[in-house]
Structure 1
């Protein structure tokens, strides 16, 4: 079974979309941020795609694309390393024109890669987190752990969708029962 984690797969899967929205909502709440977003990396196109947004921009950014190497989210996707920037006006990786195109220019941000099996799937970004969350190594570690959990859950959600699609093609009900059990266990862990 091929596990397609491209943005198209996540955007057409209601479970993956709901999961990603939950991730950005929780990240925004944890860090007292003005906004939070998840970008998925579309490797073939070399782009990051907004897949979920909480707060500023949530009504119009989903599906918006930009080059994967551009801005801080692009740097995080390329490097695979998390980053916290307290003053974006003084940071060379910050792409102000890109931020202006989203109709929200933050003063500070935190970003962590969504990594699974050593592969960067995308980026979790938190914009204008509360003062106490900035420049704190424990807070960056927390964001990185949360991003790792999100990547694992996303991979599971997409795998679940593929299992269900195969089951609809007449595969044994044993696989459906196993997928339903795994989904229930994930729900218990996340909720």
Structure 2
């Protein structure tokens, strides 16, 4: 009897220790979930949120790979927005109908699905494994809902170790999915506000252009050329956003220039040109009252500076000229050269490119001119 009692006590102790280990692991996972939730809400960049969500899913659930599929409202198809792992490029070429495969079923029903034996699951789409040459051992898929509507699905594949996914994993991934949905919705609202702001800036620039009959479309073209240059300078997303606004508003200071000067069809006198030169500082003065635009002010104020120090308003040299201004300077000058003016015909594109190259290192930043040339050769300008 004593022996049986000892065995029983040992079994109870083992169970207790196992349960304690489970609780400790669960607490760690919940703590990690809280940290990941904070991380997801630390940015309003939709791409960053999606990428971070997938990395968080793998870390939280101990999965090999993860995917985020979003629902196209127009086509009613799911597409792979983010897919961690070496098969991302292949997966991004695939789409799923609602109800097709496990992801399609989850998106259609709004219910999560845990599958530890995919070979026995009729909803499992073997075609994807075949195309990616990937072996799915198990998977967990949950819906991503915004305002109670399914906007996509979050999927983790192949639990690390010998065991499959369990209900605890399902609960954690569902909680993460809720956080992802909130972060994505916040980012969407921010994007809409941002786009409204861009459109307002462009409308303002166009209104200013109406005062000058010789520069129709100038602001739009400078914006396009500036962003084409930026792609070859490896500017980050935020820098490109600032550049987009700076290029749209680079001539906003002309609102303070008299019409008789701005509309003059002949070449300007020295005094008139000195008056025109004031528009750089005027633009900066106008924008300094908008706190959110402080990052674009250098691009507006210094886009007429030259790397040899012969520009205006301050005669800055080389890299002391902010990069946004150096980019807008090249885009602005190229458009001016290739546009007809009353006092001179436009140069051809080839002539204008040669002129930019000739002035690289004196008037323009050499690196920016090289980036311009790369964009031009690729047909982006």
More strand by share: 1
Partner of 2:103: 73
Classify the secondary structure of the residue corresponding to 1:169.
helix
Which of the numbers 107, 110, 113 marks the counterpart of 1:83?
A: 113
Instruction: Trace 1:142-161 onto structure 2 (pairs within 5 A).
Output: 142-161=172-191
Partners in 2 of 1:133 and 1:117 — Cα distance? 35
Partners in 2 of 1:106 and 1:32 — Cα distance? 15
Partner of 2:73: 43
Partner of 2:83: 53
> How many residues align structurally?
161
By relative contact order (CA 8 Å, sep 6+), the higher-ranking structure is 1
Range with greater deviation from structure 2 (103-112 or 52-61): 52-61
TM-score, normalised on structure 2? 0.39
Which of the numbers 94, 117, 124 marks the counterpart of 1:64?
A: 94
TM-score, normalised on structure 1? 0.76
Q: After TM superposition, what 4+ stretches of structure 1 lie above 3 angstroms from structure 2?
A: 131-135
Instruction: Trace 1:145-184 onto structure 2 (pairs within 5 A).
Output: 145-170=175-200
Partners in 2 of 1:94 and 1:77 — Cα distance? 14
Question: 1:111–1:126: 8 Å Cα contact kept in structure 2?
Answer: yes
RMSD (Å), alpha carbons: 2.3
**CA shift at 1:85, angstroms?**
0.6
Range with greater deviation from structure 2 (55-64 or 18-27): 55-64
**CA shift at 1:18, angstroms?**
1.4
Partners in 1 of 2:194 and 2:93 — Cα distance? 25
Which of the numbers 87, 97, 103 marks the counterpart of 2:133?
A: 103
Q: Which runs of 5+ in 2 are unaligned?
A: 1-43, 202-286, 293-381
Q: Which runs of 5+ in 1 are unaligned?
A: 1-13, 178-191
Alpha-carbon displacement from aligned partner over 1:124-172 (angstroms, at most 9, x marks no partner)? 000102258734212101100101111111111111111111122338x
Range with greater deviation from structure 2 (104-113 or 56-65): 56-65
